[in-house]
A and B are shown apart, each in its own frame.
Chain A
């Protein structure tokens, strides 16, 4: 695949309505990590992102579409570190969930010079042409629903924007609703929390559940779903609530679809 072809493909990805579905990678042993740090930009030929935490440098990704790291913002890094794998000069984290935090952090402004390193993983530019060719195509119509079904839209921590994967998920939910005879749609926004590696528990902005649920409802309606959608908001439960898993992120919106009887 030529470089120019790869660049054509990535620009298609940037501007496409749907994303390429990929099989989840097999689980590998590793060390769970969760921390907040300043991202650092390494100005290499294939640009990459690093973050330092407790004296170690972690690799947190390369060119990334949707919610990439941001200088001037701290980033919540959640994932599994592999100390025996180095990428771009940092410990590889795979899988990884990045959530740039919304507030400005002027101290996060480090651009590192090119040192000849590069990301370990293949570039998104290297996806097979056959896979990339599917990008931008209409999503397939889902099969009719026969029982209550819950779809989950997983957000970045403390962010309410439907990012690129979320957009595809909401589009799929809308298709599911319109392909079936659905009697009831409930959109439930949640305020989540996360336990960091240092034991600290961070909680999302209180209004985020409401904002997310409203955004998903509006998107569904704009995609053609009838507006009689029930909306609920759930605040994060108290940390010491019995039976609650404080580490559960719940950084989500759930959409529950109830088909009409006889479907």
Chain B
């Protein structure tokens, strides 16, 4: 299915589509003049113009995608053209309709259309292991079922100059359902040993927050290391890029992606790198409408990609003094706040008595906005004991009485400014959601090395995370905290795709920290996150 602006679509067809959209838009009484199907997939090598602003339907409502620098011509653009030998481009896994990530819904759609011939399912990482037969669905089950790509990392790790880092732990393969880690060519005992882990693609949008020009602090305050300098720009680097922060700059990331995901043999030219980086840095995405509650940009709320464009990166939230998501504040009223049954960590400020034009809200819309507001208050103010999170608890006490916003502390994104590799327990046992389809590793830390602060020296994990880059036992399970934007467009969640939906995310933390959420509060938190 071709998407908007495709040059190859004949004029009469395009005109008909516009006509249909005109009527649909008016029927819905919202601005959907550019609204498109959720399957507006942009294939590698697409020849079309992407508008400055587009919207896409998803399970929760509508996602807004803003190209802040104006319309983008994909023809020949290095983000959209294949850079390697397997036919993939950056856009293959970073789709605008999926908040510049990739949902399982889209992956399934591509499989139903093209099967394994689609470059998305390239053997290198779109299969559970390259040695598996490519035509079989089972060979791509991790991608199809959980949206996971294979990430093959050298073992032992190497630093940025290629020097081997002596790890302070050993890896034992406990189970290997994909067969890749035990494989003689691809595995840990191969001539060129690699560890295969399986991860979700991150959003290639809102990147001024991910790679800010000026991080909040000179130091990585939790590890006591000075933040490195980007030799190209002279800026201190934030450390929030990629799930394991293995590359600190977008340029390094995209050069690596061209090799590992697109299988380029020619390298990536500097002008292409510049063009990709420039494109990625001007794309902003966020949800703009909800199926039930309507526009997220009315009644005092101003959610959406324009607010992302206008926000300031690397700001730490601080309750009412610096709200985490200021775009939602307008929906919080004293009526909503007074209905809260839990004890907030600090006293609520005085909220307005009612929302802008609240008297005009339909009952369903009022209920929706109240739910978003309650979920937001829970996220920011509801205290519980946070335990055994390396590095957070090592820094402020284990346990510490805090809120969701302790880890998800960056204003407008919910990332961690610090920077944010933490072991929240999503990939380490006993807290991880069981994932028998993934490899299971036993990490055994050497006696003379600092242990993992809460899991000790024998750790079971499906993905050692940051430790595969640093070789440190104490880093096992650490994953960079992700953005919380465009969530409705890009299920499943967590780095290992272990939460099928947002309810599963909330339930994971409810179990993990023994919070004791009620059904209404879970629903409110889901509604709140879907609105982002």
Contacts and interface: CB of A to CB of B under 8 A. Distances in A.
Interface in B451-481: 451, 453-457
A69 interface: yes
Interface in A148-170: 160-164, 166-167
B454 A72 contact: yes
A64 interface: yes
Interface string A1-44: 00111111101101111000000000000000000000001010
A73 B456 CA distance: 10
Interface stretch (B53-61, B184-192, B219-227): B219-227
B396 A17 contact: no
B454 A63 contact: no
Interface stretch (A50-58, A215-223, A227-235): A215-223
B528 to A, nearest CB: 20
B320 A65 contact: no
B507 interface: no
B454 A104 contact: yes
Contacts of B221: 14-17, 164, 167
Nearest to A71: B398
B422 interface: no
Contacts, number: 124
Contacts of B120: none
A12 B451 CA distance: 29
B401 A11 contact: no
A180 interface: no
A12 B318 contact: yes
A11 B409 contact: yes
| Interface SS majority for chain B | loop
Contact of A15 (B316, B349, B457): B316
B224 A16 contact: no
B76 interface: no
A204 interface: no
B376 to A, nearest CB: 16
Interface in B138-186: none
B397 interface: yes
Interface size class of chain B, counting residues whose CB lies under 8 Å from the partner chain: 35 or more
A65 B395 contact: yes
Interface stretch (B94-102, B196-204, B280-288, B386-394): B386-394
A128 interface: no
Given A161-B224, A164-B221, A167-B221, A63 B451 contact: no
Given A11-B409, A161-B223, A167-B224, A63 B396 contact: yes
In this complex, which of B224, B320, B398, B409 has the most chain A Cβ atoms within 10 angstroms of its Cβ? B224
B332 to A, nearest CB: 14
Contacts of A222: 225-226, 228-229
B399 A63 contact: no
Contacts of A136: 217
A3 B346 contact: yes
15 contacts: A4-B320, A7-B345, A11-B316, A12-B318, A16-B217, A17-B219, A41-B397, A43-B385, A63-B397, A70-B394, A71-B399, A73-B398, A73-B453, A103-B451, A207-B448
Query: Would you list the 9 A-B pairs with minimal beta carbon distance, nearest first?
Result: A162-B224, A8-B321, A8-B318, A222-B226, A68-B397, A17-B217, A17-B218, A70-B398, A104-B456
Interface of A: 3-9, 11-12, 14-17, 41, 43, 47, 49, 63-66, 68-73, 102-104, 111, 136, 160-164, 166-167, 171, 205, 207, 215, 218-219, 222-223
Interface of B: 216-219, 221, 223-226, 228-229, 316-322, 345-347, 349, 385, 387-388, 393-401, 409, 417-418, 448, 450-451, 453-457
Given A4-B321, A6-B346, A47-B397, 4 more contacts: A5-B321, A9-B318, A70-B397, A219-B224
